Amino acid sequence: MDFVSKCPEVGIWTEQVKRSLITLKALTYMPTGGIVAAATTSLPEQLGGPRNWDYRYCWLRDATLTLLAFMKLGYYDEAAAWRNWLLRAVAGSPQQMQIMYGVAGERNLMEWEATWLEGYRSSRPVRIGNAAAEQFQLDVYGEVADAMTQALKGGLPPHPRGKTLNSALIQFLSRVWREPDEGIWEVRGNRQHFTYSKVMAWVAFDRGAWMAMEAGDAEAAQELRAAADEIHREVCEKAYDENIGSFVQAYGSKTLDASLLHIGLVGFLPEDDPRYLGTVAAIEKRLMRNGLVLRYETAEVDDGLPPGEGAFLACSFWLVDALTLIGRQEDAKTLFERLLRLCNDVGLLSEEYDPHQETMLGNFPQAFSHVGLINSALNLARWNGPADERSAES
């Protein structure tokens, strides 16, 4: 009770926010501050299918939104512990940085299959470890840079390694941002030039420019801004489809992807830019199923696995945030209330939800779903929520 008693009022959603805070606390490894994505492995994203992963690890991608959720609610000790875990985990050269680690910073997450286990409702394979740890995912560098920026903006004291790490990340990104990667969804098909990955590379340079200005280094800020502008031009040229009226998942693709909602949420484009408004509208039209949002159109993407999965709950929360950002508060509130009704009897959410069979899918409880719930509640209840924080000009 002491932990949740300091949670401020978050409109009519205070109790749900408190429950999500307790969930994040329960998923935290106290000696290091690391927060696992979920407490389970191999709960399927499609019943009977092979999309079964081990989520008992800490993803760098969750860094900024988790940090903002804690700081916006006044939980600075938890925010600092998470930030400190992040900086310890990524110690070393940026080219050796992984997208995920063990709770104590373990790097060896070798994936293998427990072939003697039937799996949840006959969903095989049951996997231990996660081979995605070996993937190249460009977006995580932007997440780390943004987390450090938001920590400073939010009032956390500078970390001794922060400036050195940020400089190393920027130097590494300068060499690799033009390369294809496996992307936010950790596809096990061919590498592509994923739009979200490039946008987050822009975030790294954009936030780096802000930090350089704060440090009084105008020359470095100008160089970083020039790099950010170059990425911005390329993305707008190669990732926007005039015929669809929307950004697409990857350069040359016709596929939509819910991660494109972040184009406005991280400030890559203003919320009233017609290209962003068109992207939100296209995602609503093509990725929504029974009022919930899919990650992407799995039947149209070579991700190395058979198509089919549930609606990804974090993506639905992203749409709540995007609708709030563009001024459609009532639509955002309607979707948010729909998501809250999916919580089980003790207020927990999984990774995904099957709107047809009305059942939770994926690993459980899912930290990213609960982070999404907190941030969406803050965005709806306050004028200056996490969406405003990240989308504001640096």
User: How confident is the model over 321-358, as pLDDT tens digits?
Assistant: 999 999 999 999 999 999 999 999 999 999 999 988 88
**Mean pLDDT within 256-285:** 97
> pLDDT over 70 for what percent of the chain?
96
Residue 117 is predicted with a pLDDT of 95
Q: How many CB atoms lie within 10 A of CB 167?
A: 15
pLDDT exceeds cutoff 80 at 8:
yes
**Mean pLDDT within 20-35:** 94
pLDDT exceeds cutoff 90 at 259:
yes
Residue 352 is predicted with a pLDDT of 95
DSSP state of 62: G
- Using alpha carbons, select from 244, 320, 322, 253 the residue that is nearest to residue 285: 244
pTM value?
A: 0.94
Model confidence band, residue 161 (pLDDT cutoffs 50, 70, 90): confident
- Using alpha carbons, select from 42, 41, 39 the residue that is nearest to residue 123: 42
Model confidence band, residue 368 (pLDDT cutoffs 50, 70, 90): very high
Residue 304 is predicted with a pLDDT of 59
Residue 308 is predicted with a pLDDT of 64
pLDDT exceeds cutoff 80 at 383:
no
- 254's CB contacts (< 8 A; 6+ apart) are 241, 244, 248, 300
Residue 32 is predicted with a pLDDT of 92
Residue 225 is predicted with a pLDDT of 97
Alpha helices in the chain (DSSP H): 2-5, 14-26, 63-72, 76-89, 139-154, 162-176, 195-214, 218-238, 262-265, 274-287, 313-325, 329-340, 367-381, 386-391
pLDDT exceeds cutoff 90 at 367:
yes
Domains of the chain (ranges, CATH numbers): 2-386 (1.50.10.10)
Round to whole Å and give the CA distance between 299 and 308.
Answer: 7
C-alpha to C-alpha distances, 171 to 95, 207, 224, nearest whole angstrom: 10, 14, 10
Contact 279, 263 (CB under 8 A): yes
Round to whole Å and give the CA distance between 49 and 127.
Answer: 13
pLDDT single digits (tens) 116-153: 999 999 999 999 999 999 999 999 999 999 998 999 99
CA dihedral 306, 260, 57, 38 (to 10 degrees): -80
My answer on whether omega of the bond before 306 falls inside 30° of 0, hence cis, is no
Residue 165 is predicted with a pLDDT of 82
pLDDT exceeds cutoff 90 at 163:
no
CA angle in degrees (0–180, nearest 5) for 392-185-82: 55
My answer on whether omega of the bond before 31 falls inside 30° of 0, hence cis, is no
pLDDT exceeds cutoff 80 at 247:
yes
Chain-wide mean pLDDT for the chain?
Answer: 92
Helices 367-381 and 14-26 pack at an angle, to 10 degrees, of 150
pLDDT exceeds cutoff 90 at 187:
no
